[in-house]
Structure 1
Amino acid sequence: MAAPRVELLWWSGCPSHGKARTMPQAALTEAGLDPTGMETLQVVTEEEAAQEGFVGSPAIRINGTDIVAPDDQPPALTCRLYVRRDGRPGPLPDPADLRDALAAALTRS
């Protein structure tokens, strides 16, 4: 089974990127995968945001797909707002969304 490509994209203007870094690492460890394989990309310019399809910080992608579909949000250097499964808004994705996306990627490998 090949390990999926896990990426954390972040912008320094958003304070939640530090905590966001630990989420994929924990999910990878929980799945029995090496968390040190996670890639990180700091998005610095609006041009980079557009090139990466970055709609806000933090963003977690697995095999190139954002774990939470950004809908029609335009690329931008901004903090991202997620809605957890229980309806609460927050600066980080719901951990269950991350686990489900990782599990789906593992079943496709």
Structure 2
Amino acid sequence: MTAPRVELLWWSGCPSHGTARAMLEEAMTGLGLDPSGIETLQVVTDADAVRECFTGSPTIRVDGRDIVPPEKGSPPALTCRVYFRPDGRPSPLPDPALVRHALERSLDHA
């Protein structure tokens, strides 16, 4: 089994990145993956945001793919990201089930 490439992109103005990392670590551990392999990238400038296609913090990518692709036309920006739960409520974090599903999908294709 090849471990997926897992990235956590964050912006310092967003208070949710620590919780996002803990959620990601928990999901990885639950699947037998080593969370120490998480690549963390702080997005500091607008140029960084453009280069990374960063539409807000936190952003989690598995094997280069955003686990919740932003809506078409969402501009790169240094901002907090808004996710939506299955019941439609907004959240500063992705649904934990989506995080796990993205990791599982990557493992299925390894």
Do the structures match in fold with TM over 0.5? yes
1:27-46 equivalent positions in 2, closer than 5 A: 27-46=27-46
Aligned to 1:66: 66
**Cα offset for 1:87?**
1.4
Structure 1 runs (4+) deviating above 4 angstroms are: none
Which runs of no fewer than 5 residues in structure 2 stay unpaired?
A: none
Aligned to 2:77: 76
Number of aligned residue pairs: give it. Answer: 109
Give a deviation string over 1:39-90, Cα, whole Å, max 9, x none.
1000000000000000000000000000001022110000000001121111
TM-score under structure 1 normalisation?
0.98
C-alpha RMSD of the superposition: 0.6
d(CA) in 2 for partners of 1:49 and 1:3? Answer: 26
Which runs of no fewer than 5 residues in structure 1 stay unpaired?
A: none
1:1-109 equivalent positions in 2, closer than 5 A: 1-72=1-72, 73-109=74-110
User: Sequence identity, in percent?
Assistant: 64
**Cα offset for 1:29?**
0.1
